Amino acid sequence: MSLVDLDLTAEDRAFQDEVRAWLEEHLVGEFAEHRGIGGIADDDGWEVRQRWDQELARDGWLAIGWPQEYGGRGATLSQEIIFHLEYARSNAPYRAGGNGQDLLGPMLLLCGSDEQKLRFLPPIASAREYWCQGFSEPNAGSDLANIQTRAKLDGDHWVINGQKIWTSLAHRADFIYVLTRTDPDSARHRGLSMLIVSVDQPGIDVRPIRNISGGAEFAEVFLTDARTPVDMVIGEVNAGWKVAMATLGIERGADLLPHLLTFDREMQSVIELARRRGALSDPWIRVGIADAWIGLQVLHAVTLRTVSSLMHGAAPGAEGSISKLFASEWHQRLGELAMDIAGEQGQVVGPGYELDPFQRIFLDSRSETIYGGSSEIQRNILSERVLGLPREPRPTSTKEPTSA
Amino acid sequence: MTSSVDLDQQEWRRTARDFFAAKSPEAAVRRLAATPEGYDPEVWRQLSDQLGLQGLIIPEEYGGSGFGLVELGVVLEEMGRNLFCGPFLSSAVIAATALLRSADEDAKARYLPGIAEGTTIATLAFGERSAHRNPPRISTRAETRGSGWRLWGEERFVGDGHIADLLLVVAAVDGSPGLFAVEGTAAELGRVPIATMDQTQRAAHIGLTGAPAARIDEIDVGAMLLRVQSIAAACIAAGHVGGMQQALDLAVEYATVRVQYGRPIGSFQAIKHRCADMLVALETSRAVAAQALAAIDREDPALDELASLALVRASEAYLKVAGDSIQIHGGIGVTWEHPLHFHFKRVKASASPWGSLAEHRARITEAIGI
């Protein structure tokens, strides 16, 4: 397997050594026993992962790209990339507070007020508060601008009513950032605001949804007269769409390389499975493995190009959609290949619908072509923004339907 | 972190793009496709006089400019985009590489300057082709007669064999492979041009009936062939990237102007999403082709499998992109007068001398140890 290889300066190498040494010293005991556990939208091993986050936080490794005053290290993008790469190499448990660290934090740094940054960033960097994202609604999925959750001012508080869905780890979160309509006469992307709302209040009801692999890691969030202070708007009132779009841009970047290392490990484990099962003499399985390996190397090459241009100061562009499309579909094929190799035994689940790693890939990868902008949306982005093809004609009326 | 983006390379790309856009327009491709030679000697001269392309990867001591495959890749991409017709890959890349793999200074000093200058068109004939690591089955034998060597045998599908001034032939000497140079003027050399589907790239069957030959010494022929196959794979992939870009550009342009049901067909998701998939095919191929060329330049231990995977990816992608572009064009796409058929035909023609995609996959499964 080819390993991710970047041109590092002497300073970068010194930083890399520091990260490696820290991980070696601290990834021991229960943390070492839980290597590889968890994921961005999965709460396996939640308690141990929280303790791991706190271990990282103690030495300032949780939000290294943030300014020091908010609990970060002011690391460069190169250092961030190196950190995440070494982290992935060590196969440490997935950070529990990823949503706050990777999404809400950067959004606050970009659009938040000084008071908001001082109030909310340090508890994320020290693993004391956890966050979830309230974007999708039953009628606002790919068409995110069709948000129907509403907030109106009541004295010095916003009062929010509506429903969010597919909210990952909502049951673990202290706060939710909610994209909500604050101008009742607005339509589509105008008149939305990004509100910070405490989850722990009577106006919020989190109802877990059981997912394809049997877990309950995403949820519906019902907001019924939920309240939040007037100054809990991120960015300007009625400018929430801009804030949301800025966050979606953040979602691609430093986290690309770590995914590759996970994929490398999974590829190796599928080859090992084929070896154990005596399937390597099957010509179809061999072709399947060769194609999966080719796809993985393609992904390495594409990702290295993207990361290298990001490191040279390029803005993350619509090209990220190429990686997202290719990677998510590749991952699904890998899961299907693993099921073909595993045969009947691969259909057996453990007590309480406990799944093995191959079953997890097979099932969980179905969500990867849906979340973070479905494959169809990615294809729209590529064809419209990169290739310049005409936009889909919009319906003649831009008024929102009033019923949900 | 240090920069891997070389500004000079962008300048180089512009130069190559302008040159091939001017020298290999569609009209020229059509004209050459209908000639027996299949290339334009005047443009071939300009390739050398104006840009020194035939000597690009040949070291300066042999009359070239000593660049690597990364710089060559830029040229191949522009050639692919403009369906360039000429013996460039056979002579300036494959034959030159074959000679450079030997330590026979006399032979290199004799043959390489002419290749670098473009005054010699050379090609490599190596028997039955295969992308496996095993040496190909040699179909020509060499024997000493009097003061020199003579060759007997048949070499099939020799790239640009119909016009080559110099044939480098792998022949068996008492059962082991040797490399020999045969002058194109030899009376004991017969050529049968082959009519192929793809008229932008040519080949011939070669008959050797005691043709006089000079042996090229100090060369591991098996290792040379393996390297040549990897270089060919990576170079073809680079050319495919240019061809794909052109086929995609044509599709996008057509989808923007072609109106059906009162709107440009490019506003329908059925067309848009096909174009997005073509873009993914193109960009993923671009990344692996560049990776393979760079790997060969730095003698990466994994260069053989990186070259194979680049060829597999780029070949499948080019076939898809050319085919999809035809589909988006509708009826006009399946006409002789539209240029897309040249692209579609190139895909299979380019790769076949260098091993099937199945054989390249076999190289990959071997490399990953299964």
Q: Do A298 and B309 touch (CB under 8 A)?
A: yes
Which of B291, B313, B361 is opposite residue A287, by nearest beta carbon?
B361
Residue A178 has, within 13 A of its CA and on its CB side, a CA count of 34
d(CA B252, CA A217): 42
Query: Does the pLDDT of residue A403 top 60, yes or no?
Result: no
Specify the pLDDT at position B246: 98
Residues of chain A with C-beta less than 8 angstroms from the C-beta of B5? 308-309, 312
- Return the residue matching tokens 């390379």: B9
d(CA A382, CA A326): 12
- Taking CA atoms, what residue in B is nearest to A291? B361
Question: Which residue in B238, B240, B269, B248 sits closest to B324, CA to CA?
Answer: B248
SS (H, E, C) chain A: CCCCCCCCCHHHHHHHHHHHHHHHHHCCHHHHHCCCCCECCECCCHHHHHHHHHHHHHCCCCCCCCCHHHCCCCCCHHHHHHHHHHHHHHCCCCCCCHHHHHHHHHHHHHHCCHHHHHHHHHHHHCCCCCEEEECCECCECCCHHHCCCEEEEECCEEEEEEEEEEEECHHHCCEEEEEEECCCCCCCCCCEEEEEEECCCCCEEEEEECCCCCCCCEEEEEEEEEEEECCCEECCCCEHHHHHHHHHHHCCCCCHHHHHHHHHHHHHHHHHHHHHCCHHHCHHHHHHHHHHHHHHHHHHHHHHHHHHHHHCCCCCCCCHHHHHHHHHHHHHHHHHHHHHHHHHHHHCCECCCECCHHHHHHHHHHHHHCCCCCHHHHHHHHHHHHCCCCCCCCCCCCCCCCCC
Specify the pLDDT at position B117: 97
Name beta bridge partners: B176.
Answer: B173
Which of B272, B309, B361 is opposite residue A383, by nearest beta carbon?
B272
Confidence of residue A250 (pLDDT cuts 50, 70, 90): low
- B293, B73 in Cβ contact below 8 A? yes
In angstroms, how far is the first alpha carbon of chain A from the final one? 50
Specify the pLDDT at position B2: 34
Interface test with A, best of B257, B309, B315, B320 (most A CBs within 10 A): B309
Helices (H), B211-268: 221-257
**CB-based contacts of B310-313 (< 8 A; 24+ apart in sequence):** B310/B233, B310/B234, B310/B237, B310/B285, B311/B233, B311/B234, B311/B236, B311/B237, B311/B351, B311/B354, B311/B357, B311/B360, B312/A294, B312/B357, B312/B360, B312/B361, B312/B364, B313/A294, B313/A298, B313/B237, B313/B284, B313/B285, B313/B288
Share of chain A above pLDDT 90, in %: 76
- Return the residue matching tokens 């604050």: A182
Q: Do B4 and A382 touch (CB under 8 A)?
A: no
d(CA A85, CA A57): 18
- Return the residue matching tokens 């022929």: B221
Pair of tokens at residue A342: 């595993």
d(CA A282, CA B290): 32
Q: Do B256 and A388 touch (CB under 8 A)?
A: yes
Q: How distant is the Cα of A274 from the closest Cα of chain B, in angstroms?
A: 9
Question: Which residue in B247, B250, B254 sits closest to B285, CA to CA?
Answer: B247
Residues of chain B with C-beta less than 8 angstroms from the C-beta of A384? 272
Residues of chain B with C-beta less than 8 angstroms from the C-beta of A12? 1
- A53, A96 in Cβ contact below 8 A? yes
- Taking CA atoms, what residue in B is nearest to A305? B287
Q: Do A290 and B361 touch (CB under 8 A)?
A: yes
Specify the pLDDT at position B354: 85
- Options A18, A80, A220, A251, the catalytic residue: A251
- Taking CA atoms, what residue in B is nearest to A295? B313
Q: How distant is the Cα of B255 from the closest Cα of chain A, in angstroms?
A: 8
Pair of tokens at residue A171: 């049951």
d(CA A321, CA A325): 6
Q: Do A390 and B276 touch (CB under 8 A)?
A: no
Specify the pLDDT at position A312: 73
Q: Do B4 and A308 touch (CB under 8 A)?
A: yes
Confidence of residue A254 (pLDDT cuts 50, 70, 90): low
Interface test with A, best of B9, B357, B370 (most A CBs within 10 A): B370
Specify the pLDDT at position B268: 97
Which of B267, B280, B306 is opposite residue A322, by nearest beta carbon?
B280
Q: How distant is the Cα of A325 from the closest Cα of chain B, in angstroms?
A: 8
Residue B39 has, within 13 A of its CA and on its CB side, a CA count of 24
- Taking CA atoms, what residue in B is nearest to A275? B370
Specify the pLDDT at position B348: 85
The pLDDT profile of chain B, 370 residues, written as one tens digit per residue, is 333 345 578 899 999 999 999 999 999 999 999 999 999 999 999 999 999 999 999 999 999 999 999 999 999 999 999 999 999 999 999 999 999 999 999 999 999 999 999 999 999 999 876 545 455 688 899 999 888 999 999 999 999 999 999 999 999 999 899 999 999 999 999 999 999 999 999 999 999 999 999 999 999 999 999 999 999 999 999 999 999 999 999 999 999 999 999 999 999 999 999 999 999 999 999 999 999 999 999 999 999 999 999 999 999 999 999 999 999 999 999 999 999 999 999 998 877 778 888 889 999 999 999 9
Confidence of residue A281 (pLDDT cuts 50, 70, 90): very high
Q: How distant is the Cα of B260 from the closest Cα of chain A, in angstroms?
A: 13
pLDDT (tens digit per residue) in A125-178: 999 999 999 999 999 999 999 999 999 999 999 999 999 999 999 999 999 999
Q: Do A382 and B255 touch (CB under 8 A)?
A: no
Three-state DSSP at B181 gives strand
Q: Do A297 and B306 touch (CB under 8 A)?
A: yes
Q: Enumerate chain B positions whose Cβ falls within 8 A of a Cβ in A.
A: 1-5, 248, 252, 255-256, 263-264, 266-267, 269, 271-273, 275-277, 279-280, 283-284, 287-288, 290-291, 302, 306, 309, 312-313, 361, 364-365, 368, 370
The maximal CA–CA distance of chain B, rounded, in angstroms, is: 80
Specify the pLDDT at position A40: 74
Question: Which residue in B129, B207, B197, B130 sits closest to B161, CA to CA?
Answer: B207
- Return the residue matching tokens 């194609």: A291
pLDDT (tens digit per residue) in B73-86: 999 999 999 999 99
Q: How distant is the Cα of A142 from the closest Cα of chain B, in angstroms?
A: 15
Specify the pLDDT at position A253: 57
- Of A179-188, A266-275, A307-316, give the lowest mean pLDDT range: A307-316
- Return the residue matching tokens 């050529």: B191
Pair of tokens at residue A377: 């949306």
d(CA A190, CA A183): 8
**CB-based contacts of B333-342 (< 8 A; 24+ apart in sequence):** B339/B26, B339/B29, B339/B83, B339/B250, B340/B247, B340/B250, B342/B29, B342/B33, B342/B83, B342/B198, B342/B199, B342/B200
d(CA B149, CA B121): 22
- Return the residue matching tokens 């780890």: A169
Confidence of residue A345 (pLDDT cuts 50, 70, 90): very high
Q: How far is CA B293 from CA A64, A168, B153, B282, in A?
A: 36, 43, 34, 16
Q: Do A7 and B1 touch (CB under 8 A)?
A: yes
A251 counts as catalytic: yes
pTM of the model as a whole? 0.92
pLDDT (tens digit per residue) in A8-42: 789 999 999 999 999 999 999 999 999 988 877 77
Counting one residue from chain A and one from chain B, the pairs whose CB atoms sit within 8 A come to 124
Mean pLDDT of chain A: 90
Question: Which residue in B342, B318, B325 sits closest to B266, CA to CA?
Answer: B325
- B178, B165 in Cβ contact below 8 A? no
Which of B275, B276, B284 is opposite residue A302, by nearest beta carbon?
B284
Q: Are strands A131-134 and A175-181 parallel, antiparallel or unpaired?
A: parallel
Pair of tokens at residue B279: 């873009």
Name beta bridge partners: B263.
Answer: B260
Three-state DSSP at B121 gives coil
d(CA A263, CA A267): 6
